[in-house]
Structure 1
Amino acid sequence: MKLLILKAHTVCLAMLAMFTIGLSACKKNGGTATDDGEKYLTCKINGKYREFNYSVNANDEPATDTVHFVVISGWEKQDKITGFGIDMHIAEGAKEATYVANGASGPSLAGKYYIQEMKDGKFVGTTVFNGGDLDGSNFTLTITSLTKWGVKGTFSGKLKLLGGDEIVTVTEGKFSAPYN
């Protein structure tokens, strides 16, 4: 009888250990596997280094093995006034590869730099620079890692003011964004 109780106790301890190890391999807010990489979204805009590291994330974890869209975004500060985002929709599925969009040609891919305008503490509009989906603009996205954790890569391009002619140049862009 003592041997049976000892075996049952050992099995319970082993199950508890496996459960604890399984929890430590999950994110606190989603239950998906984690990656030891940190979250970041940085680039240079017209030569000035910028960090959009507040609330960096990617779209929801794909429900299938084929990733039809990649969405990454982050804010410069907690006030959510200035941000950067990347949107790509690809029917055949995203892979670890380089994607280029020039105006209306290429995949459905856009880089967006946006600044929300406030007056007297109220939102009054947003200035948006788009690259990749407007004539006179371009955007390049290289996906270097596409895992259950999220997506990592680099980006660059010429983004055009939505509704205007002003251009901003984005260089040395890189990101590491976990799925929501």
Structure 2
Amino acid sequence: MTESLLARALAEEATKKSGLIWVRGDGPARALWHVWHEGAAHVVGDGPGEQPLPAGLTEGAVAEVTVRSKDKGGRVVAWTATVRELAPGSEAWQAAAEELKGKRLNATDAETMTERWARECRLLRLEPHAATTELPDGSLSAVPLPTTATTRRPIPAALPRLLLGRKKRR
């Protein structure tokens, strides 16, 4: 009993402090930014300009959440969660959206962001119900997920010389 309470407390504290959590539904896990609010992790996504949510995160589904260390980036704790989709405009949705709004970086429409989320996105509450601090066997590495994101272009060959300066000849 005490070990279970300690694992839940570790899951909550680690999730609060971590900038990203890895969430897995039916398919591969995805890194998601989140906020811890009222005893659960909240994520927003699946809309234009927002993070894609993993497949299978539907009302009542079970998701596996892995929390990394903010300092070293290694796995600290994993916990299972029940997924709840919050209804746009509800009191719980409003409270979670306000918390998420404060954590959203680089938003182009900061003033109207929550209205856009209500129209076009899903806001999920991941309620923890079991936690484990046991480390898995193996590395758990996987092939990166496909994405539409691209790197701009290779840097010009002369750029390092321009930034670092040329060696002066004597």
* TM-score bucket (shorter structure): under 0.3
Highest CA radius of gyration, 1 or 2?
1
Q: Structure 1 or 2: larger helix share?
A: 2
TM-score for both structures, normalised by structure 2: 0.24
TM-score for both structures, normalised by structure 1: 0.24
Q: Structure 1 or 2: larger strand share?
A: 1
Say which structure, 1 or 2, has more relative contact order (CA 8 Å, 6+ apart): 2
